[in-house]
Chains A and B, each alone.
Chain A
Amino acid sequence: MITIKNLHANVEGKEILKGINLQVNAGEIHAIMGPNGSGKSTLANVLAGHEGYEVTEGEVIFEGKDLIDMPPEDRAREGLFLAFQYPVEIPGITNTVFLQTAINEIRKYRGLPELGAKEFLDLMREKAKVLNIDSSLISRSVNVGFSGGEKKKNEIFQLLMLDPKLAILDETDSGLDIDALKIVAKGINVFHNDNNAVIVVTHYQRLLDYIVPDFVHVLYNGRIIKSGDKNLALQLEKEGYDQLIKEAAEPEQV
């Protein structure tokens, strides 16, 4: 699905990613964990094509195509989706118009006919039901006046609507109460199948109680310092990052 090799990236001249290597295959769920400032959100944004981040080295191959020079809208059309840590409010543009535009742009890119109004509305109803989203929320402007939890739910709603190949979830669990967390996790599980993949970027283990990762990677200081299975997340929950960071630092001291 996606292959990341020796990825280096700068923000305002400061190197944040210092050589990331990661391979994600169809059907897999990867969790990327790490303390604040380790570069998790940077990685998510670099993959989605945020122009504030400069890739200085390395390559990212997504479904056989080089992503580095691809504009963000084309990455989305190729099937990459980023659920934002801080979803943006767009006054005056309703969720309906926003999603219909997005879906049809993506379909146009793939040479598919536009989705008719009825098909689109049926799809919206079906996906809204998964997340218990009230229909009044859908007819409102994108994220305007939404609570923190509603915004995160709306990201997952967009995920279900756009049905990408690779979903990158940037701290989708932050700021959610337990009920909202369960609903969001349910949405992700409904989305996930053998043909797509999920990268969950998170600070805490708790989302991983509901979305079981195949792999867990620990990001620290711009590098993946350890990879393992779901038990690594549990270990981190118990012991914290300190021990791992120490271990990772030792070889350099030798």
Chain B
Amino acid sequence: MNNPKNIDIKEKFVKDFELFESKLNGESKSYLHSLRKSALEKFKTTEFPTLKDEEWRYTNIKPILETEFIPAVNSAPVKVTTGDVEKHLYGGFDFYKMVFVNGIFNTELSDLSGLPANVTVKNINQFNNEELDKVKEYFAKIEESDNAFNMLNKAFAYDGTVIILPDNTVLEKPVQVLYLTGSDTGQVLSSPRNLILAGKNSQAKIIISYQPLNDSKYFTNAVTDVYADENAIIDFYKIQNESEKAFHIDKIEITQKSKSVVSNFSLSFGGALVRNDINVLLDDEYIENHLYGLYLATDTQHVDNHTFIDHAKPNCESNELYKGILDEKARGIFSGKILVRKDAQKTNAFQSNKSVLLSDTAVVDAKPQLEIYADDVKCSHGATVGQLDMTAYFYILSRGIPSDLAKSMLIRAFANDVIEPIKIKELKEQLNHQILQHLHSKDF
């Protein structure tokens, strides 16, 4: 465990924190900063995961620990144009726009006009006391399960998206959050800290997309919490399209209360080394949870998806569908655990993971796990790995369609049941296009 590199990097981050703190002046005594300080204290005594940790056995994080990243709060500001923003936004529909550069909110590039007065869509740095109280209340009742990366995020979390929906509020337009990351001057560490608190009977669609500002090497280390109170309906679209040199580590923590419905989409395109953690706690009865995942990887990309669904109470339903398309020497991992606790009778839990390998050198590891302590439940899981359907391929070719397009159509067809449930039509179309383009541009 005591790899010297590992110690260096931790000491470096502790020093970075001191520099960060010295620039904060009066804010250093605030509530937010107290959260950062406590995260740093935990970080100091926590080791980064290694291949010996069961949850990290497929993902070697050494490349991250061997790079000297500069926390965005300490690095030189980066110039961003509206063109950079437009290029990476999903368009064709109305939305509230939040733009962050290296994890720090950019007011000029954002547009929150028309937002209902009682709804909070803000960067956490602009909070008033009343809003902070709600955040405090949430943190008081939530149990954090953080690894060293998550603690690092919370120590350097200067900014992030916070959406607070009061009870009985329906947000008609989606919120689209764009995290643009990258720097010309150094290897930047972006630490977005997002929080979505959905009140009783509230509804919203939220898109959080991580996009590259340039092709530099950088590190996005994000944490997102979603809390859906009774009857809330939340659609959450996380789109990861980082630069091909970038590292991306993200944890999404979802807590659901009675009769709430959360649909979470995790769509992974870019990044050199990617780790997506999603933890779901079904903490009441009659909850519905949907986890949809799609991961496309080529060249030497490494994409690790870990999901954990905790059925703590009876009469809940979870549906999980993850699909991977891997080419060249890419490696994909799906590790999905479903825990059905003793009290969670009448649970319905379904999990499916399917991957196609487009080359002989691509690798996929699938690790479905069901842990069931209740006796009256319906649970299933399945994992398959295969190639593109050659009969279907021939069928398309036989209509005069060229082979690259035929493959694209088959990939599109394969991804269909993950993409089809997306409720924002224009987003769905653009993602479909992105799937084809992503594999196309890499000359698969």
A residues in contact (CB < 8 Å) with B: 48-52, 71-73, 75-77, 81-82, 84, 86-93, 98-99, 101-102, 105-106, 109, 141, 158, 162
Chain A residues lying within 8 Å of B126, measured Cβ to Cβ, are none
Q: Are B402 and A90 in contact (CB under 8 A)?
A: no
Q: Is B412 a contact of A93 with CB atoms below 8 Å?
A: yes
Whole-angstrom CA separation of A84 from B391 in the bound complex: 10
Expressed in whole angstroms, the minimum distance between the Cβ of A238 and any Cβ of chain B is 35
CB < 8 Å: which of B399, B412, B415 contacts A76? B399
Instruction: Indicate which residue in A76, A86, A91 contacts B398 across the interface (CB closer than 8 Å).
Output: A76
Q: Which residue of the partner chain, among B394, B409, B432, contacts A51 with CB atoms under 8 Å? A: B394
B398 adjacent to A92 (CB under 8 Å) = no
- A162 touches which one: B392, B400, B402 (CB < 8 A)? B400
Number of interface residues of B (CB under 8 A): 26
**A90-B396 CB under 8 A given contacts A73-B403, A101-B405:** yes
Pair A93/B413 contact, Cβ less than 8 Å: yes
Q: Are A98 and B419 in contact (CB under 8 A)?
A: no
How many pairs of A and B residues are in contact by the CB < 8 Å rule?
A: 79
- Which chain B positions have C-beta within 8 A of A92? 412-413, 415-416, 419-420, 432
Would B409 and A93 count as touching, CB distance under 8 A? yes
Shortest CB-to-CB span from A169 to chain B, Å, is: 13
A-B CB proximity, top 7 nearest:
A92-B416, A76-B400, A91-B416, A102-B399, A88-B395, A72-B397, A106-B400
CB-defined contacts of A98 to chain B, threshold 8 Å: 396, 399, 409
**B117 partner residues in chain A, CB cutoff 8 A:** none
Q: Which residues, 14 to 66 on B, are CB-close (under 8 Å) to A?
A: none
Write out the residue numbers on chain A whose beta carbons fall within 8 Å of the beta carbon of B140. none
Given A91-B417, A92-B420, A93-B412, the answer on whether A50 and B394 have CB atoms closer than 8 Å is yes
B residues in contact (CB < 8 Å) with A = 389-392, 394-403, 405-406, 409-410, 412-413, 415-417, 419-420, 432
Taking a contact as CB atoms under 8 Å apart, the answer to whether A88 and B397 are in contact is no
Bound: A109/B399 CA distance, A: 13
Tell me whether B400 and A102 are in contact (CB under 8 A): yes
**A77:B400 contact, CB within 8 angstroms:** yes
Neighbouring B residues of A90 by C-beta, 8 Å: 392, 395-396, 409-410, 413
A88 touches B401 (CB 8 A): no
Using A71-B397, A73-B397, A93-B412 as known contacts, say yes or no to A88 and B392 having CB atoms under 8 A apart: yes
Best-buried of B394, B398, B416 by chain A (most CB within 10 Å): B398
CA distance A77 to B405 in the complex (A): 15
Rounded to whole angstroms, the CA-CA distance of A65 and B409 in the bound complex is 29
Residues of A within 8 A of B416 (CB): 91-92, 141
Q: Tell me how far the C-beta of A6 lies from the nearest C-beta in chain B, rounded to whole angstroms.
A: 24
Distance to closest chain A CB from B57 (angstroms): 34
Q: Do B402 and A105 touch (CB < 8 A)? A: yes
| Cα A106 to Cα B405 with chains together (Å) | 14
Given A90-B409, A90-B413, A93-B409, A52 and B390 contact (CB-CB distance below 8 Å): yes
Q: Tell me the smallest distance from the CB of B407 to a CB of chain A, in Å.
A: 12
Residue among B396, B406, B416, B419 with the highest chain A CB neighbour number at 10 A: B396
Q: Kindly provide the distance from the CB of B428 to the nearest chain A CB, expressed in whole angstroms.
A: 10
B413 neighbours in A (Cβ, 8 Å): 90-93
A127 to B432, CA, bound (A): 29
Listed by A's residue number, 21 A-B pairs whose Cβ atoms lie within 8 Å are: A48-B398, A49-B398, A71-B397, A72-B394, A73-B397, A73-B406, A76-B399, A81-B398, A86-B391, A88-B391, A88-B392, A88-B395, A91-B416, A92-B413, A92-B419, A92-B432, A99-B399, A102-B399, A105-B402, A109-B400, A162-B400
Chain B nearest CB: distance from A97 CB in Å?
A: 9
Interface centre among B401, B405, B417, B420, by most chain A C-beta atoms within 10 angstroms, is: B401
Contacts of A82 in B (CB 8 A): 398
Q: Which of B389, B390, B401 is within 8 Å of A105, CB to CB?
A: B401
Bound Cα distance A49, B389 (Å): 16
Please give the distance in Å from A178's CB to the nearest CB on chain B.
27
